[in-house]
Amino acid sequence: MKIAILSDIHGNRFALEAVLKDIKQRNVSTIVNLGDCLYGPLDPAGTADILIDLDISTVSGNEDRILLEDDDVKHNSLSLTFTKNELKPKHFEWLKSLPQIKVVSEMFCLFHGTPKNDSEYLLHKIIDGHLTLKSNEDIQKNILPIQQPVILCGHDHTPAAVQLNNRRIIVNPGSVGCPAYYDGTEPQHFVENGAPHARYSIISQMDSEWKVENILVPYDWDTASRMATQNGRSDWARWLKTGRT
């Protein structure tokens, strides 16, 4: 089995289309999506239409959940208002159908952040405003209920693969649609991947081991950046064009 892992598309239809085109060339058997699908100042409705038509295994992310909440004042985000205004009822119904956690083929456990918290990073902790890899012991504490040999998570937009002491593996594919960001909630921090490419991963089994490929895909990030500017997010425009904050 060869699985393509997508996460954190954030309404970036341009990046998603490029990734799906790349996947078609790689003899992939299954595609999974780890959430944060639509939120962002780009094309949430167009992205939703593609994902609904794909009908792939998808879990909800924290910013998918936020789109379904009524308290816009609490989140106070221009992109939240923009995204909600762009989406149609069928898109909200699709978001409502997404589970927080999902098992695929009895071997893969999918969730966005951690099994119990879609807003928490599983693999990284924040030190001095940047992400640092957690110890295996700290990671293990957050996945105690999970029995599957492969765990797939997203949320921090940072590609990573961690093998635990029991030879289980955790993969974060990075972000399809947003290569950098600043999070102003405490503890404040930056995430930078250093290049504007769309990112996803492929995992496949080789004998008793797992092969993980982290893939960078070029796409028209200049158009995406201009769209972010037009929709009031010059910070997103910079992130999309440079992969830096």
Total-model pTM: 0.97
Residue 75's pLDDT band (boundaries 50, 70, 90)?
Answer: low
Q: Which two tokens stand for residue 36?
A: 């944060």
- Which tens digits make up the pLDDT trace of 160-209? 999 998 889 999 999 999 999 999 999 999 999 999 999 999 999 988 89
Residue 66: band (very low, low, confident or very high) from pLDDT cuts 50, 70, 90: very high
**80 pLDDT tier (thresholds 50, 70, 90):** very high
Question: What distances in angstroms separate CA 157 from CA 10, 25, 176, 193, 215, one per listed residue?
Answer: 11, 24, 8, 8, 13
Encoded tokens for 138: 């700290």
Mean pLDDT value across residues 10-28: 98
CB crowding 7-35: b at 16 or more within 10 Å, else e: bbbbbbbbbbbbbbebbeeeebeebbbbb
Cβ distance 141 to 164 under 8 Å?
no
CA distances (Å), 54 to each of 26, 155, 171, in order?
A: 17, 21, 22
In 3D space, the residue among 211, 210, 241, 203 whose CA is nearest the CA of residue 23 turns out to be: 203
Query: Residue 164's closest CA among 117, 213, 109, 99?
Result: 109
Given a cut of 70, whether residue 5 has pLDDT beyond it is yes
Q: Compute φ and ψ for 70, nearest 5 degrees.
A: -90, -15
- Percentage of the chain surpassing pLDDT 70? 98
Question: Looking at residues 232-238, what average pLDDT do you find?
Answer: 98
Q: What tens digit of pLDDT does each residue of 37-46 get?
A: 999 999 999 9
Q: Give the up-direction half-sphere exposure of residue 115: CA atoms within 13 A in the CB hemisphere.
A: 15
Which pLDDT does position 228 carry in this prediction? 99
pLDDT band at 74 (very low <50, low <70, confident <90, very high): low
| % pLDDT > 90, the chain | 93
**pLDDT over threshold 80, residue 73:** no
| Domains, in order of start, for the chain | 2-242 (3.60.21.10)
Reported confidence tier of residue 77, pLDDT bands at 50, 70, 90: confident
Q: How confident is the model at residue 98 (pLDDT cuts 50, 70, 90)?
A: very high
Confidence of residue 2 (pLDDT cuts 50, 70, 90): very high
The whole-chain average pLDDT of the chain stands at 96
110 and 34 Cβ atoms separated by less than 8 Å: yes
pLDDT at res. 207: 86
Query: What pLDDT band is residue 145 in, cutting at 50, 70 and 90?
Result: confident
Token pair, residue 240, equals: 């999309």
Average pLDDT score over residue span 72-79: 68
